[in-house]
Amino acid sequence: LAAIFKLLVCLLVSLPLQPILLSLRRGQASVSYAQSLVGAPETRLTTLDNGLKVASEETGHATCTVGLWISAGSRYESEKNNGTGFFLEHMAFKGTKKYPQTALEQQVESMGAHLSAYTSREHTAYYMKTLAKDLPKAVELLSEVVQSCSLNEAEIEQQRGVVLRELEEVEGNLQEVCLDLLHATAFQGTALGQSVLGPSRNARTLTRQDLVDYINSHYKAPRMVLSAAGGVNHEELVGLAKSHFSGVSFEYEGDAVPVLSPCRFTGSEIRMRDDALPLAHIAVAVEGASAASPDIVPLMVANSIIGSYDLTYGGGKHLSSRLARLAVEENLCHSFQAFHSSYSDTGLLGIYFVCDKHQIEDMMHWSQNAWMNLCTTVTESDVARGKNALKASLVGQLNGTTPLCDDIGRHILNYGRRIPLAEWDARIDAVTPRMVRDICSKYIYDKCPAVAAVGPCEQLPDYNRMRSAMYWLRF
């Protein structure tokens, strides 16, 4: 057998290599991370006469994603019409004046495309992923959906039931419930405290006129971005935008321009106790930085240092995050996630965790301790690890034309331009341990937190104890 094996090896060695093996053997020049950032496609931006912005990134893909991003969301709603934007999202694909619902669905299906939408607290988006060659048709359909939604009375009544069922389903998603409660208590008495979906009473009472008024108030050209990524040509996209969106109004009736009122942060807590639930869901947060604040990058690095954890993670006691290692060693929680929700003028910097009811106090203690460590003892190695994790996260989020398109649309609305990855990379590299300590002290040390708890939360510490911990844990 040894002789036969030796003979086979000799024969294989003597065989000529196939072209693909030759290329592997020679090795193709690998592109470094820095080179990939420099070589990233440029995001081109054009503004139409009516103020609508057109932005695109040409990647050469055979597919593309194109969509309309609008400065409209639950923060622009009142207590009376809260949930209107979410309701409109459901009505968008139920037919237009030119394309009844069946015809609209057939148009999308015949292209093999995917048409979707979402609403957040400050943004609304309608977008379509399709083959690059079908870009003109995709833009036409999006213009119809946004400008000529039929808002049929019968369809409104049908969607009313759909929205109510979705509200019931969301109540089963305890993470969403907890984070909505966190916003409700942190920004109580302000529009940012409202949920995106709105209350069920509004879903039952919203009228067609409410929907029309919302569109007329917020769907204005200067507040819109037509964004595209993939196999798109910018000049072609601009031409399509002129054909289909030049008629979008830039004027407001009676000059009643919607202006966002300041949202006041309030240190407070809200508890929704339910001892029948198996686990407690807790969120604690302080007021964070706005999307355009220079402090946002150090805070993003700080969040990366705290990191996240889940029982399904490997690594155990060897995880890089100190809080994650403690979670494993002390069996503190089932999962946790550091987060930073940024808005146009404020934000929430926090930690969300899920744990057994007997571990709530310990997990809260160590979560706040992790914050205090950021303010006092964060090291060079901690910051280096946080930077690498943040860079990997930023790059990983842009995997595909849809997340690219979304990133472009949101950046243009938030910053007035697309911030390239190379610039993010430079700003992350500029963060130092001293900077992390100073910025975290500014936002965390001796600040009143907002706390939300859902489930068996009897052992959640008294609010004044949690508040005092933001000072005493430093020593």
For 105-110, the CB contacts below 8 A with 24+ separation are 107/137, 107/141, 108/141
CA–CA gap between residue 146 and residue 101 (Å, rounded): 14
Q: Are 271 and 197 a contacting pair, CB within 8 Å?
A: no
Q: CA dihedral in degrees (297, 303, 307, 308; nearest 10)? A: -120
Q: 10 Å Cβ neighbour count for 425?
A: 19
- 347-355 and 335-342 as β-strands: parallel, antiparallel, unpaired? antiparallel
- Residue 472 CA from chain centroid, whole number: 34
- DSSP state at residue 95: B
Beta strands in 163-238 (DSSP E): 224-230
Q: Where on the phi/psi map is residue 201: left (φ > 0), alpha (ψ -120 to 50), or beta?
A: alpha
Q: Catalytic residue at 89?
A: yes
CA–CA gap between residue 37 and residue 29 (Å, rounded): 16
Q: Are 360 and 460 a contacting pair, CB within 8 Å?
A: yes
Q: At 359, which amino acid appears?
A: Q
Catalytic residue among 57, 58, 89, 122: 89
Q: Are 151 and 254 a contacting pair, CB within 8 Å?
A: no
Catalytic positions are 89
